[in-house]
């Protein structure tokens, strides 16, 4: 784990486009870096394996984007990254971690549930989808 840098954006965008039907744009990632969000890179043998964009304020830790490259999924990297984020947030004094997830993303949802996150809300029409919009489950975990 290390801080994400602008130089990582080419590799990151390759992963983002392969991982999502509606990926974030490079401009969004650049804005997150410029705005001072906490952005993490996870390297495996010198290659970007995953990344996370997070925000910490007033005791709340928001995980905005947590992604593992598709060809590395199913090997525990997402769990490793999530645990590292939670441990870092605890060390910074955060009291609660929040994230949103598509109900259709069963793999991610099961990961979050297994790591102690619970559903605390619903955001109607939050995500773009192939046919309109998809809701987001809002999940939280006390730290």
118 is in an annotated binding site: no
> Of the listed 60, 100, 115, 119, which one is catalytic?
100
> Of the listed 51, 112, 127, 134, which one is catalytic?
112
Would you list the DSSP string of 35-96? Answer: HT-EEEEEEETTEEEEEEEEEEETTEEEEEEEEE-GGGTTSSHHHHHHHHHHHHHHHTT--E
Give dist(CA 68, CA 76) in Å, integer: 10
Whether 100 is catalytic is yes
> Which residues are annotated binding-site positions for acetyl-CoA?
105
Catalytic residue numbers read 100, 112
> Which residues are annotated binding-site positions?
105
């Amino acid at each position: 784990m290390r801080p994400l840098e602008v130089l990582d954006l080419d590799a990151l965008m390759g992963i983002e486009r392969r991982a999502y039907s509606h990926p974030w744009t490079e401009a969004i990632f650049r804005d997150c870096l410029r705005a001072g969000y906490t952005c993490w890179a996870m390297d495996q043998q010198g290659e970007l394996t995953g990344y996370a964009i997070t925000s910490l304020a007033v005791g709340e830790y928001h995980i905005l984007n947590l992604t593992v490259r598709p060809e590395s999924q199913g090997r525990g990297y997402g769990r490793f990254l999530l645990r590292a984020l939670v441990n870092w947030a605890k060390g910074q004094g955060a009291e609660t971690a929040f994230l949103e997830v598509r109900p259709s993303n069963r793999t991610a949802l099961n990961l979050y549930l297994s790591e102690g996150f619970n559903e605390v809300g619903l955001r109607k029409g939050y995500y773009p989808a192939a046919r309109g919009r998809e809701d987001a489950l809002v999940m939280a975990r006390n730290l």
